[in-house]
Amino acid sequence: MTDAHDYKDAPVVAIDGPAGAGKSTVARAVAKRLGLIYADTGKLYRALALKAADVGISVDDKTGIEALCGETDIGYRYIDGESRVFLDGADVTDKLAASEKVGELASALSALAEVRTALLEVQRSLARPPGLVMEGRDIGTVVFPDATVKFYLDASVEERAGRRLKDLLAKGENVTFEEVAEQLRARDERDRNRKVAPLRRADDAVYVDTTDMSFDEVVNCLVGHVKRGLGNAEDDETGH
Ligand code: DC
């Protein structure tokens, strides 16, 4: 599909990186600044995890998971400038981000080849005009290896844990810094070491360490790179 895709009419910005690196908020802001479609691919894996948990299928039950993939309808719908995730016809977008438990299960499910294959075309189908900013773990390496511009967003585990802890405490969850840091380490380890489409930086991805950067600095940095990649750097008022 990627060979035939016209990246001139529908550029693709791929953003990968570990959990808690700020990919979602950054990707959403970059898409808004550039007038492109935004898509969070973690939510697709989370939607499947939600269903697996609901129907009580364990990650170890490969046959059950394979059957579940076949009978589950997961996709995006573009509503009010945002790509929302639908699970069997229901909008589940707002249910997916909050839970660390769903994130954990999504990470375990995402190591299975059948799961990744089932979700690949859903992701690729979003590449249409005016273009797409998509974030995840394998966007620049597997989903869109020919993406127009690729980024790998990173931050130290302490910084990522600190940011996540702040979000969780604001939501009233009762967790400690060490618990959050440990969960992130475990998730990184699994996402980086799985056999199929592991998290890794694409050779041609721009590496951005956000540890000591403000949110605006990160967004400006990415927008500047994308504008240069698209050949209209003169429009970039940020100077990055
Ligand atoms: O980005 P997130 O935390 O919502 O993602 C949840 C899990 O889904 C993540 O730990 C690994 C998996 N995932 C993936 O394997 N590939 C993607 N492109 C996005 C997410």
Q: Could you tell me if the CB of 19 is within 6 A of ligand 1?
A: yes
**Mean pLDDT for the chain?**
91
Burial, 20: exposed, middle or buried (Cβ in 10 Å; 0-12, 13-18, 19+)? buried
Sheet containing strand 149-154, strands side by side: 37-40, 132-136, 12-16, 149-154, 206-209
Q: What is the pLDDT of residue 79?
A: 87
Is residue 235's pLDDT more than 60? no
Q: What is the pLDDT of residue 238?
A: 44
The ligand 1 atom nearest the CA atom of 190: 10
Q: Could you tell me if the CB of 38 is within 6 A of ligand 1?
A: no
| Residue whose CA lies nearest to ligand 1 atom number 11 | 107
- pTM for this structure? 0.92
Dist. CA 176–CA 182, nearest whole Å: 10
Q: Could you tell me if the CB of 136 is within 6 A of ligand 1?
A: yes
> How do residues 204-222 score in pLDDT, each as one tens digit?
999 999 999 999 999 999 9
Reported CATH class of domain 10-229: alpha beta
How do the domains of the chain map onto residue ranges? Answer: 10-229
Pocket test of ligand 1: the residue of 137, 163, 191 to mutate, having most ligand atoms within 8 Å of its CB, is 137
- What does the angle CA 191 – CA 57 – CA 142 come to, to the nearest 5 degrees? 30
| Residue whose CA lies nearest to ligand 1 atom number 15 | 110
> How do residues 61-76 score in pLDDT, each as one tens digit?
999 999 999 999 999 9
Q: What is the pLDDT of residue 145?
A: 97
Q: How far is the CA of 49 from the centre of ligand 1 (A)?
A: 11
Q: Could you tell me if the CB of 194 is within 6 A of ligand 1?
A: no
